């Protein structure tokens, strides 16, 4: 889901809302709002893939336009599509212990004056951070998800128009640059206006719009970047979690079913910075998952995925990505 530092303009965010399907999770639910269960007869029309968004300052979410959050009904619809896909596979599910190597194509979109021109070294550092994070290497209690990332290719495009307003041209850019099939992670680095740090599509939408599948991050958020508080590479960690099917830890607030993961405690709203001992859903068991990669905390606060999140990523990988599409190029 997209990740922002500060406010972000309504003009920017309104461009990310697609045919009634909103950016996922940018606004926390109000207490008691909704049950998180969709009407079984309700379906959402096919359209561009929903884009998942993240803000570093949860207070900024209130300034985003109405409709820019993943509602309980929309989250439930994604869950229905997951369960339908798994049911049709007749139990062909992989174990988390099995390693999954994800080929990564990094597309560097930069300006003619050199802005955004990240080095191969920084890109390799980002891949290293991903392998540590998804291997459970940042915390003793972190799950090894079984996912590993292998840099397959780096493409470089110098285009001032694309760099200065990537989001306005993102469909064109991704259609032009995208490589590989459903199992290939296309990671775009560029400048993102309004302090936006990144955004991702969901695996459920890959089949209908394969050329739009992928993750976009601010080049300043790579390891060693200039985005204070978000310069360790966990923007990509967080967004790839969405690319593999995870919601925010605070999805649905304190209401069931939360983020659809049993071992992440309920959380009323996103965390900012790195608060200690925060417990926003006192009627639920456990303190807030502040250090989870799927929260809004600072990079230095993030340490782990849970085993339940690992299981859920494997389910999405098996249902929507592993061997599901042939390469376009």
Kindly list the catalytic residues.
239
State residue 309 phi and psi, 5-degree precision: -65, -40
78 and 25 in contact (C-beta within 8 Å)?
no
Categorise residue 36: left if φ over 0, alpha if ψ from -120 to 50, beta otherwise: left
CB atoms within 10 A of CB 179: 19
Which SS3 state, helix, strand or coil, does residue 312 take?
helix
User: What is the Cα–Cα distance from 186 to 173, expressed in whole angstroms?
Assistant: 12
Q: Is 245 exposed, middle or buried (0-12, 13-18, 19+ CB in 10 A)?
A: buried
Non-local (6+) Cβ contacts of 265 within 8 A are: 249, 281, 284, 285, 286, 287, 288, 289
* Secondary structure of residue 54 in the 3-state scheme: strand
Separation of alpha carbons 259 and 248, rounded Å? 6
């Amino acid at each position: 889901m997209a990740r922002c530092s500060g406010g972000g303009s309504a003009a920017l965010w309104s461009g990310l809302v697609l045919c009634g399907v909103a950016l996922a999770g940018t606004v926390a639910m109000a207490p008691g709002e909704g049950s998180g269960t969709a009407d079984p007869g309700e379906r959402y029309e096919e359209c561009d893939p929903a884009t998942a968004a993240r803000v570093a300052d949860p207070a900024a979410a209130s300034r985003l336009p109405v409709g820019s959050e993943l509602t309980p009904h929309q989250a439930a619809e994604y869950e229905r599509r997951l369960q339908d896909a798994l049911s049709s596979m007749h139990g062909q599910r992989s174990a988390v212990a099995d390693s999954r190597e994800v080929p990564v194509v990094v597309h560097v979109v930069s300006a003619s004056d050199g802005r955004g021109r990240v080095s191969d070294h920084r890109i390799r550092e980002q891949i290293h951070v991903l392998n540590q994070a998804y291997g459970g290497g940042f915390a003793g209690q972190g799950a090894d998800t079984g996912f590993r990332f292998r840099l397959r290719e780096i493409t470089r495009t110098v285009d001032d128009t694309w760099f200065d307003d990537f989001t306005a041209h993102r469909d064109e850019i991704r259609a032009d640059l995208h490589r590989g099939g459903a199992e290939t992670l296309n990671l775009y680095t560029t400048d993102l206006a309004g302090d936006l740090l990144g955004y991702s599509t969901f695996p459920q939408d890959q089949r209908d719009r394969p050329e739009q599948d992928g993750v976009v991050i601010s080049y300043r958020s790579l390891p060693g970047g200039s985005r204070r508080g978000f310069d360790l590479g966990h923007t990509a960690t967080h967004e790839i979690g969405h690319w593999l099917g995870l919601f925010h830890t605070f999805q649905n607030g304190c209401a069931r079913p939360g983020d659809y993961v049993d071992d992440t405690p309920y959380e009323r709203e996103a965390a900012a910075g790195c608060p200690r001992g925060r417990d926003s859903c006192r009627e639920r068991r456990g303190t807030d998952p502040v250090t989870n990669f799927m929260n809004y905390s600072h990079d230095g606060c993030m340490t782990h995925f849970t085993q339940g999140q690992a299981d859920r990523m494997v389910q999405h990988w098996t249902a929507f990505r592993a061997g599901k599409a042939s390469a376009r190029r």
